[in-house]
Structure 1
Amino acid sequence: MTVVTTQPEVPQVERPSVQPFVPKIALIGNPNSGKTSLFNQLTGLNQKVGNFPGVTVDKKTGYSQLTPKLKAQIIDLPGTYSLYPKSLDERVIIDLLYDPASKHYPDLVIVTADASNLKRNLLLFSQLVDLRIPSVLALNMVDVAEQEGVKIDIPALHRELGVPVIPMNARKGVGIAALKIVMTQQLEPTKATFYEVPAELKPMLQQVKARFGLNNEYLALQYAHHYKSLKFLKEEDVAWFDEQLQQSDFHSITLQANETVARYTRINEMLLDVVRVEKADKDEKFSNRLDQILTHKIFGYLIFFTILFLIFQAIFAWASYPMDLIDQGIASLNSLIQENFEGPLVNLLTEGVIAGLGGVLIFVPQIAILFAFIAILEETGYMARVTFMMDKIMRKFGLNGKSVVPLISGVACAVPAVMSARTIENWKDRMITIFVTPLMSCSARIPVYTVLIALVVPEKYYLGFLNLQGLVLMSLYVIGFLAAIFSALLLKTILKARERSYFIMEFPVYKMPRWKNVGLTIVEKSKAFVFEAGKVIVAVSIILWVMASYGPGDNFEQARERALEEAQAQNLTEVQTENLIASHQLESSYAGVVGRTIEPVIRPLGYDWKIGIALLTSFAAREVFVGTISTIYSIGEEENVSTIKDKLMAEKDANGDPFFTPARGFSLMIFYLFAMQCVSTLAIVRRETKSWTWPLAQLLYMSGLAYVMAFITYQVLS
């Protein structure tokens, strides 16, 4: 007998996929210690910029492939000298490192240290060690240290610290491979201790440890120092700390100072057996001699303004060619689509979406050139000198030494200028700079100024070479600068911030820029503008196109018929007929309805509904004013300034008098000088501040200021 056995069917159960472990590694270090170079070497282009939860501080993250099977997330923390923060940027570090329960808490911390100035850099490292966070010391710029005659006994330093010490040159990629090997290992916190907590504080710290489940005395001490700033603590925890510290007679400032002295004492003792200096630094001597010229109280400013002038000229001259190519490319694409397709959707695509996209892309060359120069100045070490020279002057107006670059570059375009304010560490100074930068007269205002000045200012010369129209144009730029600095002074008294602005500046030695870092900066800033601000710009452009292309009921079609009848009666050419149709349809559109609606509001400024439409449509960009005026007055070729001038001069008011009087012309110039007529700038301010509060406040303030000043100008000149 044959027995056949069968196996019961086993149902196939779909197993959940196991996500690979991705360690979180934080980079931290002093400013100018090479942290950014190391971050770029580890992540390359595989990085992105977000923001830390609850604050408007950038969080740069990226991924580094350590082995074929292991990828790590790299978090680039703001530069800081210690764990006692002086700014909002530095405060995000303690929020991250003091909350072990956070999902962002790092598995490993890599501390970058300047090998040529090891004593100062080890202060921060010693604090991290006492927090018992697994750490690695990336001993950067060892080549610079050797040139300075600084010899470091790496094995001895490793024994003293109890953590891996990796000598490296992050700018050239030296030591990156060794660092990646260490990053793959499961490291334990070192047992070394740099600071012993005072005995009189230990009873109180035991209560802190028990309340928050901590097993580290130094971390408990940090809670006591920073409890008011730690966002993860509850209100009842803050109240509990207030009571406990009052009972313990806890003096935070004194304890911080004593701790710093104790740590440096310990560091000095350790470095006696680790570091020896054999010769003076030639590069530092050269930098000091160069600083005698570049930071001179007279020549230093002349050199700086010459550099700014060259940057400004480069933004105009070099960017014009790629901007023209982008403009021509967008126009050619529109023409190609319109020649082969037709219909409302085609118009929406070409005049709304693609035109809006062109308004985004055309700024990219200016952004790229500006940030290329800024990156070079920072890489060479010159930007630190600029901050030192300008800080004392600008601080009187509530600004920062680094505010000079955004303000000057705002004359070219406010969009890259606002982005360049990222170099300002202090939150309050950065916000004030971003807020007032759009008051500088940008290049988009030039078409408006050109038409209006030609219309109301006679072409006269004084002393044989001073052109009156040129003097008026220059005065508009001066008024814009004065408005910016005095608005900053006003905002300085209004804006309250818990952080104080400290001037701590280290002069790095001059060095050649790392071109890879320059390139990454250009790519990062351009991408941020295109993908963040671009979404808002395109959306608003589409909305404005719809408002100008459609009207309520059948008014739009009736406007076309009326225009055709007038054209036949006046025997107009085909081009003149099309322009007349466009003018009538614009008047009957939703934009025209809005223009009629706001006319009572703008009449005190001397404007009618036609100018109201121009004010509305030019919100997308100020230069749209000229195109709208061209359309609404049936001019035709909008680039022809003389044609626009002749037509506007012939325009009459209800009494038969010239409509564009000097009073109306100057009122319009003053309005466009102060008004926030640029959705691109609002979008980028939203992106930089991570909030709609600032761009909306900017819009209300500048619009209100524009209205009041234009009203005064019109009433006085009338």
Structure 2
Amino acid sequence: MRVINIALVGNPNSGKSSLFNALTGLQQKVGNFPGVTVDKKTGTSTIGEHLTANIIDLPGTYSLYPKRADEWVTYEVLMNPDPSTRPELVVLIADASNLKRNLLFCSQIIDLKIPLVIGLSMMDIARKKGIEIDIPGLERDLGVPVIPINPRKEKGLDKLRKAIEQTARHQYRAPSRDFIANAELASAPIAELKHQFPSISDYTAIHYLINYAHIDLEPSLRTAVESVRTQTPFNTTKVQAEEIMQRYARIKQVMANSVVETDPLQKALFTEHLDKILLHKRWGYVILLAVLFLLFQSIFWIAQYPMDAIQWGFAQLTGWLGNLLPVSWWSDLLLNGILAGLSGIMVFVPQIMILFGLITLLEDTGYMARISFLTDKLMRKVGMNGKSVMPLISGFACAVPAIMSTRNIENRKERLLTILVTPLMSCSARLPVYTILIALVIPRHYLLGFLSLQGLVMMGLYLLGVVFALTVSFVFKRLIKIRERSFFILELPVYRAPRWKNMFMTMWEKARIFLKDAGQVIMVISLILWALSSLGPGSGMARIKDHYAALEKTDTAHVDDYEKSKKSDLLAASYAGRLGKAIEPVIRPLGFDWKIGIALITSFAAREVFVGTMATLYSVGEDNSENQLTLQEKMDQARKENGQKVYTLGTGLSLMIFYVLAMQCMSTLAVVKRETRSWKWPLFQFVYMTGLAYFMSFIAFQIFG
């Protein structure tokens, strides 16, 4: 079985991701390109009986003249491929409804002389616009196979696979004739460079001469390019401008030969009619708020039943095993360490799946891009632009890839501001914390009979993060002294029916990632916490056990009371208890006790660890009957030394606000350091977010406590 590497390229919104998902299915993985933090998606696909492909989904770009960091990734892979990502063949996705724009990038790939197959997507949209394309004529003009496809409906994929297989077997070859006369753009330097390296194409030579300082060339080639640049005249701006003009002139000829278009004013698409409503200067914002409102109401309404079932199941299993197993250290570890940690992981899977499923739905229909358009005016007032909205929205899922995605923001100041405020958006790791605290302190009431009060509070927490992100950006734009021209260009995709298969695939994948990545962290910390909560320094815990054993012998009428006091004292004397007591004076003004203090420390590894920490702390030392209580019931019964409830409305709101605003994520700090190439900004981010969280939590507790 032969295995080849295929690079999947195309303009943004051309259908590239849809094709990648259709070809690879669930055989995908996400990693980073070597040396950069831009995500690369790779997957495997069976192309033919004896041919399998490793498909690399490269970031979308409009041409081979990159402006953004993610476009540079695509450029470097195509111009000077790393051995791990070297493509033997390129599949370019071209939007048939915007063919003229897509053919610029296509013509550049052709002139690189890399074997190429073109997948022509959006044919249905082209027909609705009145565009008719002569596919055989287009193939003749371009000199490469052109296959009409519809990845969303998996149409044309068999023909595409066949064309890929034939190209891999050299039945189709790269055109011998250039799309334009590249050699004439700079004849002397190109001829000199090709004299030393005859295997490269004329167009590749042009790009080496333009961008040699930015490409990791082998030493001999770099030396040759530098020598040619110093010895022969080469005007980069003139060559690039002349090339683009010639390409569009030739593309105009291709369009005239192979494409028939009606007057665009005669054909108004459904998308245009819908945009008049959804992008209205007033109603557009009302609809946006309604969409977000329904999103958060659905998270509680739909997820409530499977979450209750999971909690009940773990409570019953723990109670049953507690009655069945003997009293020993290993049964205590199993019940109060492993099972308590597992319950803290599994119970939030339904909400995470629903959140990501609904976000995928918004992206798939094309509405997510409209959110960027609607919010550009607001973003500019606080120092960012409409392109900042997508990282901020992505921050609702996870701040790490969201911060990576800021690389498509050209303006350095706007990019830095977006990086600094993105962690204020409530990521999915905060969702388990919000859920357990809202269930504890907010009653399950319905306003007007159908509006969940808990859902409204959840939406309020997300909006609070948005408000603070905008406010902080507004302040910082005056403090950060970077002056650079800003512009905002956005292509709005057409509205499409959602792909339910894609949505469910995303839900499954996100649940798997949560269980694998976050689950491993939660389980490890849960086991460490069990040990820290069960063991203590010196002979302190032994003396406590002896003390209560003596009391139980002399006063048998109050054995149950002594047992509860003993558990409390043993936990306080443990390593975990001593750590919590040490930081309690600092967090007491916020309404937090020492157990919450331990959770604040452990959840710095991952915010969702808060729930696993609480599950362990409230399980250690309990008897079998108490193990049948859910974590929420245990936290609700928690009392301070003076008998007051630990989780009052004031404490709950204070803790929720702290998690909205605090930088409780090591991974985010690490990626900020990588993106800014300095420890200055992540340290600044940690200090300002922690200080802001402490101050606002203090105010909340003083008002509601």
Instruction: Report the equivalent of 1:15.
Output: none
Is the CA contact (8 Å cut-off) linking 1:452 and 1:665 kept in structure 2? Answer: yes
Instruction: Report the equivalent of 1:259.
Output: 243
* Worse overlay, 695-704 or 113-122: 695-704
Q: Per the alignment, do residues 336 and 65 of structure 1 end up closer, same or farther by CA in structure 2, a change over 3 Å counting?
A: farther
Instruction: Report the equivalent of 1:436.
Output: 424
* Worse overlay, 50-59 or 370-379: 370-379
Residues 1:147 and 2:128 aligned together = yes
Instruction: Report the equivalent of 1:675.
Output: 662
Instruction: Report the equivalent of 1:57.
Output: 38
Match of 2:408 among 400, 404, 426: 426
Q: Per the alignment, do residues 646 and 595 of structure 1 end up closer, same or farther by CA in structure 2, a change over 3 Å counting?
A: closer
Is the CA contact (8 Å cut-off) linking 1:438 and 1:676 kept in structure 2? Answer: no
For residues 379-423 of structure 1, what are the alpha-carbon distances to aligned partners after superposition, in whole Å with 9 as ceiling and x for unaligned? 22222222211123124435564766886898xxx6568777887
In the alignment, residue 580 of structure 1 is paired with which amino acid?
S
Shift of 1:176: 1.0
Match of 2:100 among 101, 116, 119: 119
Residues 1:523 and 2:508 aligned together = yes
Instruction: Report the equivalent of 2:118.
Output: 137
Residues 1:291 and 2:275 aligned together = yes
In the alignment, residue 59 of structure 1 is paired with which amino acid?
K
The aligned runs of 1:624-643 (5 Å cut-off) are 639=632
Instruction: Report the equivalent of 1:42.
Output: 23
Residues 1:177 and 2:158 aligned together = yes
Q: Per the alignment, do residues 434 and 535 of structure 1 end up closer, same or farther by CA in structure 2, a change over 3 Å counting?
A: farther
For residues 310-345 of structure 1, what are the alpha-carbon distances to aligned partners after superposition, in whole Å with 9 as ceiling and x for unaligned? 111111211222222233333344334434334333
Instruction: Report the equivalent of 1:381.
Output: 366
Once residues 496 and 224 of structure 1 are traced to their aligned partners in structure 2, the CA distance between those partners, rounded to angstroms, is 34
Is the CA contact (8 Å cut-off) linking 1:195 and 1:262 kept in structure 2? Answer: yes
Shift of 1:109: 0.5
Match of 2:523 among 535, 538, 542: 538
Is the CA contact (8 Å cut-off) linking 1:312 and 1:409 kept in structure 2? Answer: no
Q: Per the alignment, do residues 591 and 235 of structure 1 end up closer, same or farther by CA in structure 2, a change over 3 Å counting?
A: farther
Q: Per the alignment, do residues 610 and 164 of structure 1 end up closer, same or farther by CA in structure 2, a change over 3 Å counting?
A: closer
* Worse overlay, 266-275 or 559-568: 559-568
In the alignment, residue 426 of structure 1 is paired with which amino acid?
N
Match of 1:504 among 489, 493, 505: 489
TM-score where L is the length of structure 2:
0.79
Once residues 521 and 260 of structure 2 are traced to their aligned partners in structure 1, the CA distance between those partners, rounded to angstroms, is 57
The aligned runs of 1:221-240 (5 Å cut-off) are 221-230=206-215, 232-233=216-217
Once residues 646 and 509 of structure 2 are traced to their aligned partners in structure 1, the CA distance between those partners, rounded to angstroms, is 49
Instruction: Report the equivalent of 2:291.
Output: 307
For residues 484-522 of structure 1, what are the alpha-carbon distances to aligned partners after superposition, in whole Å with 9 as ceiling and x for unaligned? 333445676899999997533222332212222223322
For residues 655-690 of structure 1, what are the alpha-carbon distances to aligned partners after superposition, in whole Å with 9 as ceiling and x for unaligned? xxx99999999976765553345xxx6568879999
In the alignment, residue 512 of structure 2 is paired with which amino acid?
K
Once residues 494 and 252 of structure 1 are traced to their aligned partners in structure 2, the CA distance between those partners, rounded to angstroms, is 37
Q: Per the alignment, do residues 87 and 642 of structure 1 end up closer, same or farther by CA in structure 2, a change over 3 Å counting?
A: closer
Q: Per the alignment, do residues 359 and 216 of structure 1 end up closer, same or farther by CA in structure 2, a change over 3 Å counting?
A: farther
Once residues 594 and 553 of structure 1 are traced to their aligned partners in structure 2, the CA distance between those partners, rounded to angstroms, is 15
- 1:504 match: secondary structure: coil
Give percent identity, aligned residues only. 43
Once residues 341 and 601 of structure 2 are traced to their aligned partners in structure 1, the CA distance between those partners, rounded to angstroms, is 16
Once residues 511 and 472 of structure 1 are traced to their aligned partners in structure 2, the CA distance between those partners, rounded to angstroms, is 32
Residues 1:322 and 2:306 aligned together = yes
Instruction: Report the equivalent of 1:514.
Output: 499
The aligned runs of 1:347-362 (5 Å cut-off) are 347-362=332-347
In the alignment, residue 216 of structure 1 is paired with which amino acid?
S
Once residues 368 and 451 of structure 1 are traced to their aligned partners in structure 2, the CA distance between those partners, rounded to angstroms, is 22
Once residues 295 and 109 of structure 2 are traced to their aligned partners in structure 1, the CA distance between those partners, rounded to angstroms, is 41
TM-score where L is the length of structure 1:
0.78
Residues 1:706 and 2:693 aligned together = yes
In the alignment, residue 292 of structure 1 is paired with which amino acid?
K
Instruction: Report the equivalent of 1:363.
Output: 348
In the alignment, residue 690 of structure 2 is paired with which amino acid?
S
The aligned runs of 1:527-566 (5 Å cut-off) are 527-564=512-549
Residues 1:69 and 2:50 aligned together = yes
Q: Per the alignment, do residues 385 and 563 of structure 1 end up closer, same or farther by CA in structure 2, a change over 3 Å counting?
A: same
Once residues 514 and 164 of structure 1 are traced to their aligned partners in structure 2, the CA distance between those partners, rounded to angstroms, is 28
In the alignment, residue 674 of structure 1 is paired with which amino acid?
L
What residue ranges of structure 1 are gaps of 5+ in the alignment?
A: 1-19, 455-468, 652-657
For residues 516-567 of structure 1, what are the alpha-carbon distances to aligned partners after superposition, in whole Å with 9 as ceiling and x for unaligned? 2223322333333322333223222222222122212332232233345567
Instruction: Report the equivalent of 2:179.
Output: 194
For residues 682-704 of structure 1, what are the alpha-carbon distances to aligned partners after superposition, in whole Å with 9 as ceiling and x for unaligned? 56887999999899886665334
Shift of 1:351: 2.8
- 1:184 match: secondary structure: helix
Once residues 294 and 700 of structure 2 are traced to their aligned partners in structure 1, the CA distance between those partners, rounded to angstroms, is 35
In the alignment, residue 144 of structure 1 is paired with which amino acid?
I
Once residues 227 and 543 of structure 1 are traced to their aligned partners in structure 2, the CA distance between those partners, rounded to angstroms, is 52
Shift of 1:295: 0.2
Q: Per the alignment, do residues 382 and 81 of structure 1 end up closer, same or farther by CA in structure 2, a change over 3 Å counting?
A: same
Q: Per the alignment, do residues 566 and 418 of structure 1 end up closer, same or farther by CA in structure 2, a change over 3 Å counting?
A: farther
Shift of 1:151: 1.6
In the alignment, residue 21 of structure 1 is paired with which amino acid?
R
Once residues 690 and 524 of structure 1 are traced to their aligned partners in structure 2, the CA distance between those partners, rounded to angstroms, is 26
Is the CA contact (8 Å cut-off) linking 1:111 and 1:125 kept in structure 2? Answer: yes
* Worse overlay, 175-184 or 235-244: 235-244
Is the CA contact (8 Å cut-off) linking 2:79 and 2:204 kept in structure 1? Answer: yes
Once residues 251 and 572 of structure 1 are traced to their aligned partners in structure 2, the CA distance between those partners, rounded to angstroms, is 97
- 1:528 match: secondary structure: helix
In the alignment, residue 272 of structure 1 is paired with which amino acid?
A
Instruction: Report the equivalent of 1:11.
Output: none
Once residues 535 and 352 of structure 1 are traced to their aligned partners in structure 2, the CA distance between those partners, rounded to angstroms, is 13
Shift of 1:67: 2.1
* Worse overlay, 267-276 or 185-194: 185-194
For residues 73-119 of structure 1, what are the alpha-carbon distances to aligned partners after superposition, in whole Å with 9 as ceiling and x for unaligned? 11111222112223222221112111156342111111111122211
Is the CA contact (8 Å cut-off) linking 2:426 and 2:462 kept in structure 1? Answer: no
Q: Per the alignment, do residues 250 and 295 of structure 1 end up closer, same or farther by CA in structure 2, a change over 3 Å counting?
A: farther
Instruction: Report the equivalent of 2:138.
Output: 157
Cα root mean square deviation, aligned: 4.8
Shift of 1:35: 1.4
Once residues 2 and 481 of structure 2 are traced to their aligned partners in structure 1, the CA distance between those partners, rounded to angstroms, is 43
Once residues 663 and 362 of structure 1 are traced to their aligned partners in structure 2, the CA distance between those partners, rounded to angstroms, is 25
Is the CA contact (8 Å cut-off) linking 2:424 and 2:661 kept in structure 1? Answer: no
Once residues 662 and 103 of structure 1 are traced to their aligned partners in structure 2, the CA distance between those partners, rounded to angstroms, is 55
- 1:291 match: secondary structure: helix
Shift of 1:52: 1.2
Match of 1:393 among 354, 357, 378: 378
Residues 1:273 and 2:257 aligned together = yes
Residues 1:29 and 2:14 aligned together = no
Instruction: Report the equivalent of 1:595.
Output: 580
Once residues 480 and 600 of structure 1 are traced to their aligned partners in structure 2, the CA distance between those partners, rounded to angstroms, is 27
Once residues 307 and 615 of structure 2 are traced to their aligned partners in structure 1, the CA distance between those partners, rounded to angstroms, is 19
Shift of 1:226: 3.2
Instruction: Report the equivalent of 2:412.
Output: none
* Worse overlay, 237-246 or 382-391: 237-246
Once residues 203 and 443 of structure 1 are traced to their aligned partners in structure 2, the CA distance between those partners, rounded to angstroms, is 65
